[in-house]
Amino acid sequence: MTIVGATIACREGLEQCMTVESLKRQSWAENRLADFNVWDSGLGASSNRQGSLEDRLALKPHVRTAVVNLLVLYKHSIDICRDLGKVLAATCALALNSADLSQDYYTMRVRTPTLVVNCPTTQSWMI
């Protein structure tokens, strides 16, 4: 895998996060994508031109390999965030649909085997 390929995969993953409602709250997904784009533009990580990060690290294969590995790890973390965001939305929707909303609770605590989620009963919430 190249630095360019890993960078593009990360950007595509962050763009997918922007389609997950729970990750759009407080502009989380948008801010992560903006941060990543700033990082990329500063280093030329997705550039194929002379002077790109890939080009500058051609004589330092151990550093290049470390950068690729970190990008692969970051992509994996992005995928986990995206999947958790989808699970959070589904879990909260299920809990809110079955809840007695006449009670005066601001949040509901939902337990799954591996996750405890606070599901708000209003539209203003974030993960």
Q: Using alpha carbons only, what angle is made at residue 76 by residues 82 and 57, rounded to the nearest 5 degrees?
A: 135
For residue 96, which of 114, 120, 112 has the smallest C-alpha distance? Answer: 120
Residue recorded with tokens 């203003």: 124
Cα–Cα distance measured from residue 25 to residue 127, given in angstroms and rounded to the nearest whole number = 8
Q: For residues 95 and 105, is the Cβ–Cβ distance under 8 A?
A: no
Tokens (6 digits) for 3: 């630095």
Using a pLDDT cut of 70, give the percent of the chain over it.
69
For residue range 40-61, list pLDDT tens digits in order.
999 999 998 888 999 999 999 9
Residue 120 confidence class, pLDDT cut points 50, 70, 90: low
pLDDT band for position 27 (50/70/90)? Answer: confident
Between 124 and 29, where is the model more confident?
29
Residue 54, token pair as written in the block: 């890939």
72: tokens are 């692969």
Most confident region among 58-62, 97-101, 102-106, 107-111 by mean pLDDT = 58-62
Q: Please give the Cα distance from 103 to 95 (Å, whole number).
A: 14
Q: How far is Cα 77 from Cα 70, in angstroms, rounded to an integer?
A: 10
Q: For the residues 31-43, what does the mean pLDDT come to?
A: 96
Asked if residue 66 has pLDDT above 90, the reply is yes
Domain segments of the chain: what residues? 3-86
92 or 40, higher pLDDT? 40
